[in-house]
Amino acid sequence: MVVYDQISKNVFKTYLLLMLFLGLIIGLGWIFAQVYEDPSILYIVAIISSLFAIISYWNSDKMVLSMAGAKELKKEDNPDLYRLIENLTITAGLPMPKVFLINDRNPNAFATGRDKNHAALALSLIHI
What pLDDT shows up at residue 119?
Answer: 93
Q: Tens of pLDDT along 16-72?
A: 998 999 999 999 999 999 999 999 999 999 999 999 989 988 998 999 999 999 999
Going from N- to C-terminal start, the domains of the chain cover 3-60, 70-124
Contact 113, 92 (CB under 8 A): no
Residue 26 makes CB contacts below 8 A (sequence gap 6+) with: 42, 45, 46, 49
Sheet holding 120-124, edge to edge: 70-72, 98-102, 120-124, 109-112
d(CA 104, CA 124): 6
